Structure 1
Amino acid sequence: MKISHIMRTSKLVFSFLLLLSLGTSIVAQEVEDESEFNYIQGDERGPENWGNIKPEWATCNTGRKQSPINLFAPFPETVPNFVRITRLYQPGQTTIKNRGHDIKLEWTEGSSSIQINGVDYILRQCHWHSPSEHAINGRRYALEAHFVHQSLDNKVAVIGFLYHYGNPDPFLSSIEDKIRSISNNASTDAGVISPSQVRMEGSQYYRYSGSLTTPPCDEGVIWTVENMLGTVSIEQVQLLRNAVDDGSRENARPLQPVNRRWVHLYDTRLRVDDETLHTPSAASM
């Protein structure tokens, strides 16, 4: 058997096992009141102490599959069917909330979803971190948006979009007035918004198993981070930070150890042959 064949098969089996393991994970939601923690390094409520604030937040300190991480992959891979994302996004009613450290846009009707490996994940909300929480090849960018999806049995899949400084982001531009209007822990109706307005679905994306990036830091999250960068203006990033008025210049968790996790860079442009499409059977594992 050729070495290249063995390597492709082993990677496929690993990816399949990874998704099976995620399927048994029950993931809690991020906290809605963010006043009990902050992003100030060295503070008793800062990132290195999140796990000490509450017993149910202990995973923030003890977890071995924490997010965010530095994303690095040596070469792109073909995309097996069972790790592809099918987006089923529709316009839906939203509310916008100031949670204390970030701005959250929530879809209240459950009209949008994605599908991974036959599992439907309903789009619940998106929010923003500055600078970007994930790094690509060691570099963090101006902003990162997280689109958080949840299955019926409470598993979580997050799609991350990274931005560098440049032209204003049209999606943020459409809700700037709403962001300016809300104070800490307040919320307001934001009307009907389509998540498809974020036009950043590129040909390459990173995939790995991680965690929520805020307390309780629960693990078992399927992370997809788009390799295509968007642009955001300095004024828009400042708007997001000034709106929460939390006394911090940023709301990005420090990078976490990879701890020997596999990070895949998938490229949808690569040819998918019969071998890649094959899902390994129990006998082959």
Structure 2
Amino acid sequence: MKAIYCNVLVFLILFGAKSVNAQEVDDEREFDYSKHGEKGPRKWGQIKQEWDACSNGTMQSPIDLSSERVQIILKPEKKNYKAAHAIIKNRGHDVQIEWIGDGGWTSINGDDYRLRYAHWHSPSEHTVNGRSYDMELHLVHLNTNPNVGNYKIAVVGVLYKIGRADQFISRLMTDISSMTDKRNATKDLGTIDPNDINTQSKR
């Protein structure tokens, strides 16, 4: 896998409980992120009736992270990721790692968000000043609030461009290759340390 992390930014998106279902769909093959494609963002509102808000909404992905419009209003204060048991799954439209054990947490505005999943989109879902990237990683975290009885989701995004092989992804290639064309196939990865995922600039 020739993917190298390009640190234009590591960005964070928070969603309330109602937004989680909209963000984390099981099958994304019905749409894509191609700017001018028949299944791209400009066409999402026409694909399904329940997606018609995509034609006139203003607060949904994909987001263009423009330097003129983006303000830093919060950021991860600290993280405490740790090695834990994980599986890998071919979801048909992407590859996802799921931590079965406790993969640790990141703290945002005083709240702890537990790491649950990591999955990759190609091309990138989001853009920076109109520029799309070769791949985007989502580190998905959940925050359970026992006082309210619901949860919030925090997604840390990492953007990649084609370049030298990424060591973490390269380690997964044998498992990924064995699952090609086997939708919903899962494989035990043993212990995976989220700290091994490169989120530092190489530019």
Given the alignment, which residue of 34, 38, 55 partners 1:42? 38
Cα drift, residue 27 of structure 1: 2.8
Q: Deviations over 1:34-73 (max 9, x none)?
A: 45x2338325xx6523675363x55444532111222222
| TM-score of the two chains, using structure 2 as the length reference | 0.73
State the AA in 1 paired with 2:97. L
Bigger strand share? 2
Distance 1:84 1:108 in 2: 23
Structure 2, unaligned stretches of length 5 or more?
A: 1-12, 145-149
State the AA in 2 paired with 1:175. L
Indicate yes or no: 2:58 matched with 1:64: yes
Distance 2:54 2:151 in 1: 19
Distance 1:91 1:59 in 2: 40
The 1:42–1:192 alpha-carbon spacing in structure 2 relative to 1, beyond 3 Å, is same
State the AA in 1 paired with 2:104. S
Aligned equivalent of 1:31: 25
State the AA in 1 paired with 2:162. Y
Q: Deviations over 1:210-263 (max 9, x none)?
A: xxxxxxxxxxxxxxxxxx467xxxxxxxxxxxxxxxxxxxxxxxxxxxxxxxxx
Note if contact 1:106-1:126 (Cα within 8 Å) is conserved in structure 2: yes
How many pairs were matched up?
A: 178
Bigger helix share? 1
Q: Which has the larger radius of gyration?
A: 1
The 1:72–1:34 alpha-carbon spacing in structure 2 relative to 1, beyond 3 Å, is closer
Aligned equivalent of 1:158: 155
Distance 1:67 1:42 in 2: 17
Aligned equivalent of 1:15: none
Distance 1:165 1:52 in 2: 31
Aligned equivalent of 2:127: 135
Distance 2:135 2:54 in 1: 22
| TM-score of the two chains, using structure 1 as the length reference | 0.54
The 1:148–1:64 alpha-carbon spacing in structure 2 relative to 1, beyond 3 Å, is same
The 1:229–1:131 alpha-carbon spacing in structure 2 relative to 1, beyond 3 Å, is farther
Q: Which has the higher contact order (CA 8 A, sep 6+)?
A: 2
| Secondary structure of 2:158 counterpart | strand
Note if contact 2:83-2:103 (Cα within 8 Å) is conserved in structure 1: yes
- Where do residues 1-285 of structure 1 align in structure 2 (5 Å cutoff)? 26-29=18-21, 30-34=24-28, 37-39=30-32, 41-42=37-38, 47=41, 48-49=43-44, 53=48, 55=50, 57-74=51-68, 83-152=75-144, 153-182=150-179, 183-201=182-200, 228=201
